[in-house]
Structure 1
Amino acid sequence: MELKRPKMSNPVHFLAFGFGSGLAPIAPGTFGTVAAMPIWWLCAQLPLWGYLAVTAAVIAVGPYLCGKTSDDMHVHDHPGIVWDEIAGLLITMIAVPITLWGALAGFVAFRVFDIIKPWPIGWLDRRVAGGLGIMVDDLLAGVYAAVVVQLLIWQLPTLFT
């Protein structure tokens, strides 16, 4: 089955598809996470409250962006919808030092949890519908990944400075 293409001139589709990164022919979720890295880097320059405010805003608009795009395309959770990866990575990267090791640890941890979907991530992914359903697994993967990255920072502080 050939998937429908979004209307990239539609700002909702453009954002839901991660500024076009979700159009990648393979691994769109990974490309969406790659697109989230510069967003993380820019937001990480803010004070923590600013970072958290941006992250909260990304999460708040996510169900609408993902749900509307999914409805417009008549496909539930189109693989190219990657706004959820952006939100999940921002959760993962809360208070992570802006270093190469911080970026790599967060990227890898988030992708691992997003792909393997340990309980209850996979369970929620199968049971929650609509825009929230598209978002929820990545939000929780971001929380799991954040815990792992913070434990790494705590255990190996010199690696992350």
Structure 2
Amino acid sequence: MLQEIIATGFFVGRFRYAPGSVGTLLGIPLVYLFAIKWWLVLFLGVVLYLLGVWASGYVVEVTKDRDPEDVVIDEILGYFLSFVFVEPTFKSMIVGFLTFRLLDILKPYPINLFERLPKGHGVMADDTIAGLLNAVFLFFLFH
């Protein structure tokens, strides 16, 4: 049960319409509270990644779905990692949200390669890479 709660972002991932976008919104408080130092974002990012692999791996096993739609911990992590190099301002958070969602939905190369990893890693790794690529994009846009 705990794994489902974590994987679905306290069941936000079960939202009927655009669960990935709604789940990404859960990253906003994390960014606002913890994206004050790059090392803190990376440290919490590693913790969230490991927690997400554990929780989403469980959901993958139960549902037999490689990337269950209701799992949103990966979107939360990806959006959070988008702010490793950029101060969270209203403008950067809006732009970061839009660009992260675009990367997550389109999954351009090399992001699409990472979803082929097994179980929880396949769920988490593509959004992790999308978030880190988004971080680079935001850095160049806002610096």
Q: Distance in 1 between matches of 2:30 and 2:11?
A: 14
Partner of 2:20: 29
Q: Is 1:128 equivalent to 2:117 in the alignment?
A: yes
| TM-score when normalising by structure 2 | 0.91
- More RCO (CA 8 Å, sep 6+): 2
Per-residue deviation, 1:72: 2.1
Q: How far apart are 1:107 and its partner, in Å?
A: 0.7
Question: 1:140, 1:134 → 2: CA distance?
Answer: 11
Give distance in 1, aligned partners of 2:107 and 2:39: 29
2:110, 2:136 → 1: CA distance? Answer: 15
Instruction: In structure 1, list runs of 5 or more residues that go unmatched.
Output: 1-9, 155-161
Amino acid of the residue matched to residue 129 of structure 1?
A: P
Structure 1 residues 52-63: aligned runs within 5 Å:
52-63=42-53
Q: TM-score, normalised by structure 1?
A: 0.82
Bigger CA radius of gyration: 1
State the Cα deviation string for residues 86-140 of structure 1 (Å, max 9, x = none): 1111111113223110111211111111111111212332x22211011111011
In structure 2, the gaps of 5 or more residues are: none
Matched residue, 2:136:
147
Aligned residues between the structures: 143
Q: Which residue identity is paired with 2:122?
A: G
Counterpart residue identity of residue 27, structure 2: A
- d(CA) in 2 for partners of 1:74, 1:112: 26
CA shift in 2, pair 1:122/1:52, >3 Å: closer
Encode CA deviations 1:24-77: one digit per residue, 9 max, x unaligned: 1011110110111112111125x4433322122111222111101221233321
2:109 alignment counterpart = 119
| Residue of 50, 54, 74 corresponding to 2:64 | 74
Aligned residue for 2:33? Answer: 42
Report matched runs for 1:6-25 at 5 Å.
10-25=1-16
Instruction: Give the corresponding residue for 2:77.
Output: 87
